Amino acid sequence: MHVLIIEDEALLAIDLQCFLEELGAETCAHAETEAEAIRLALDRRPDLITADVNLREGTGPAAVRTIRESIGDIPVVYVTGNPGCCGTLDANTHALKKPVLWLKLVEALQSHGLPIVT
């Protein structure tokens, strides 16, 4: 499983990556801006996206919208201090409030049917 982490807080991005790798993610890419997230997703299609809402440049929801329009519906878990700003949440999208409770992240991943090790 390849995960795209869209997060401009480096420590949280590292925590997410370590946790996702413990759950079975084989590779992770990390983007700090909307443009970088889109470029990384187009370079290698992620199986999952985790995204913050507010980034240094752009927003996570805008990046996710562009990525999905370009390469299809990818499961998304927003990890943000502003879950009300994620836009419309569908069956393939969850929003978790920072600070993230790791059990909630596991539940969100399981609801997507993603192959995780627990």
User: pLDDT tens digits, residue range 86-109?
Assistant: 877 888 898 999 888 888 888 888
Across the strands, what pairs with 97?
A: 80
**What are the residues whose beta carbons fall under 8 Å from the beta carbon of 48, sequence distance 6 or more?**
1, 2, 3, 4, 20, 25, 74, 75, 76, 77, 109, 112, 114
Amino acid occupying residue 2: H
Q: pLDDT confidence of 111, banded at 50, 70, 90?
A: confident
Q: What is the pLDDT of residues 19-78, one digit of tens each?
A: 999 888 899 999 999 999 999 999 999 999 999 999 999 999 999 999 999 999 999 999
- Among residues 44, 68, 47, 53, which one has the least CA distance to residue 6? 53
Residue 63, SS3?
A: helix
The CATH class, in words, for 2-111 is alpha beta
**What is the reported pTM?**
0.91
pLDDT value, residue 115 = 63
Residue 56 tokens read as 């240094």
Alpha-carbon distance values, 114 to 4, 35, 74, 92 (Å): 14, 26, 11, 11
